[in-house]
Amino acid sequence: MAVGLTGLPQLYPVSGIRLGTAMASVRKKDRRDLVVVECIPGTQVAATFTQNRFCAAPVTVAREHLGKANPRALLINTGCANAGTGEPGIEDARACCAALAKLIGCDTSEVLPFSTGVIGERLPRERIIAGLPACLANLNDNGWAEAAQGIMTTDTVPKGSSRKTGIGSHTVTVTGIAKGAGMIRPDMATMLAFVATDAVVTPMVLQTCVQTAVNQSFNRITVDGDTSTNDACVLLATGTAGHAAIDRVESAAYTGLLRSVTEVFMELAQAIVRDAEGATKFITVEVSGGKTEADCLAVAYTIAHSPLVKTAFFASDPNWGRILAAVGRAPIAQLNVGKVTIHLNELCVVRHGAPDADYTEAKGLAVMRLPEIRIEVELGAGSVAARIWTSDLSHDYVRINAEYRS
């Protein structure tokens, strides 16, 4: 069960956005697996995509279309990633975009495709195209919750977040959904995340907003260290809120919008870790006292990616030596082990490179049994800090991924 997640929060409608879902039997019957997000004309878009060089066909097509026109619709399917499929996969993605464009009366380049699921299989485009009329019939500005369910794969719960903020005398809404539970080390975005706002924003400022928010959220999570072929994070701005356009990152309006977007991104990113495949622990890794942010992140990710560390957390075993060893092998140029201090929540386990005098196994066990744990590492080399979020590694993670295609 997802750690600390009890269900979707209230998801506010975003003026100019409607969402519809359908059961297209992409991989399994009787489940939502096809989503259309309709945007009003003039909607601005900014996005980040996977850095995996085997990027999926929909990523390639979406990038092409982003360079040609503003979007009128997003087309999202689960059950098939349409990755590792070569030129036929590109043709399948384009055909689905063309079919939706014809139904809503826009150019094919105004449709952005997104897929998630099994890699290496052809997209069942006939089933997807056949499901499009049902999606359009269900278009609704309150369709966020159903869409959150429609983009799930191994997720156990739908993931969403919503905020309202003031810009001048106007109220601006930011609402988003995401999916992801395994193959999570985004390096640019997440498995899939779709966020919309009614703010009035110029394209360049919107892209800056996305990149800044992603770097503090989706680029700070890891479940298993695997970067997907299909990662994408999209921010739509319909421009219907009525305030003056946000055209400078130095403005108070931009600061307010960035704050809300970052909060939504961060809540979605953390929800992905909380619902990681088989997760029983939500773990925050904070590294401070580094010379550079890169050093701090290198230490944090070395801890977070260690199978020995992750399995110890699953077992609630206070084997802090595994954390110490991970810090020691992190790929940073210099490390003075005599200055390293490590805490588990408020409990100091290592002080200046040696066991803390007040540490006991019983105290460590009490912390490790908690569902949410914070690892704090002080390097003593500078003043820079960084934070990431990860999960433990359980029997269920192995089972889920062993049975993924069955």
The first and second tokens of residue 131, run together, are: 């499901």
Find where tokens 């464009």 sit. 101
Sheet arrangement for strand 282-290: 354-355, 347-351, 341-344, 372-378, 282-290, 384-391
Question: How distant, in Å, are the alpha carbons of 333, 345, 380 from that of 337?
Answer: 13, 21, 9
**Active-site annotation holds for 190:** yes
Burial of residue 156, with CB atoms counted within 10 A of its CB: 0-12 exposed, 13-18 middle, 19 or more buried: middle
| Interatomic CA distance for residues 219 and 274, integer angstroms | 16
| Interatomic CA distance for residues 365 and 358, integer angstroms | 14
Question: How distant, in Å, are the alpha carbons of 53, 96, 113, 114, 374 from that of 73?
Answer: 26, 12, 9, 11, 40
Active-site annotation holder among 190, 229, 284, 341: 190
Beta strands in 16-169 (DSSP E): 17-22, 34-39, 44-49, 73-77, 111-115, 159-167
The secondary structure of 48-61 as a DSSP string is: EE---SS--HHHHH
| Interatomic CA distance for residues 270 and 177, integer angstroms | 12
Catalytically annotated residues? 190
